[in-house]
Structure 1
Amino acid sequence: MTSLNIPFQTIDWSAVSPTEHAGVTGMAYWQTMQFGGLRIRYVEYSENYLADHWCEKGHIVYCLKGEVINELKDGTRSLLTEGMSYVVSDGLSSHRSVTTESGAHLLIIDGDFLKQ
């Protein structure tokens, strides 16, 4: 694994332009900071969002607001509410996000360090 040196800095998320990502239903808005092989995202899912793909990437996810259902391809579902997290390495699950009427705000960290 390559060493990544990131100097001290603050992130003003209000100054990071969002990108829009349509789901099967609803929208996801990503504000992304990229540091070499490390990606940090503030993600807002609209109400009734359903991801348009199964993700194989690893993530560290922290729910800041609302709630999100994490659905695995095998049908297993888990609910993240405010203050909860999930972690998974690359290639260890096929997962997608689903929200209810509340939508969700998440902090998502992923990158090369989660590769098997």
Structure 2
Amino acid sequence: MNIPFQTIDWASVPKTEHPGETGISFWQTLQFSGLRVRIVEYGAGYLADHWCQKGHIVYCIEGEFETEMENGQSFILNKGTSYVVSDGLSSHRSVSKSGVKLLIVDGDFLKTESLP
């Protein structure tokens, strides 16, 4: 994958609406070959509509949210904090009581390698 140098004016990237089990999220997405970069905003009262097993690098730009794990663990992330996970290594979903803005990067580089 070769991505030439470029600047991104996020204000010019269209927002798409994605309803959760409750609440709404808005995504601004840049798609490259094998790489997706998004600014994602979860509105107040947002609960994801599925358990996700995809890998992500998540950075909290503003606000706070909870990442629930299907195994019962949960983690609170707020401004300036991150989490990282590869594909298939957790089953997680996001919850936001009061709204949050995130930078999320995912792609082929987070695929887990097959064991021999």
Question: What range describes the TM-score normalised by the shorter chain of this pair?
Answer: over 0.9
CA distance in 2, matches of 1:24, 1:38: 26
Runs of 4+ in 1 over 3 A off after TM superposition: none
CA distance in 1, matches of 2:74, 2:53: 16
Pair 1:46-2:43 in alignment: yes
Identity in percent: 64
Q: Which amino acid is the alignment partner of residue 14 of structure 2?
A: S
Matches within 5 A, 1:62-73: 62-73=59-70
- What TM-score results when the alignment is normalised by the length of structure 2? 0.95
- Residue 106 of structure 1: aligned partner: 102
- Residue 80 of structure 1: aligned partner: 77
- Residue 87 of structure 2: aligned partner: 90
- What TM-score results when the alignment is normalised by the length of structure 1? 0.95
CA distance in 1, matches of 2:109, 2:65: 24
CA distance in 1, matches of 2:35, 2:89: 19
Alignment partner for residue 15 of structure 1, among 12, 15, 30? 12
CA distance in 1, matches of 2:23, 2:62: 17
Where structure 2 has 5 or more consecutive residues not aligned to the other structure, the ranges are: none
Alignment partner for residue 32 of structure 1, among 22, 29, 34? 29
| Cα offsets for 1:47-89 (capped at 9, x unmatched) | 1100000000000000000001000001100000000000000
CA distance in 1, matches of 2:27, 2:72: 26
Query: What is the number of equivalent residue pairs in this alignment?
Result: 112
CA distance in 2, matches of 1:53, 1:24: 8
Matched position secondary structure for 1:113: helix
Superposition RMSD in Å: 0.5
Q: CA deviation at 1:39?
A: 0.2
Q: Which amino acid is the alignment partner of residue 21 of structure 1?
A: H
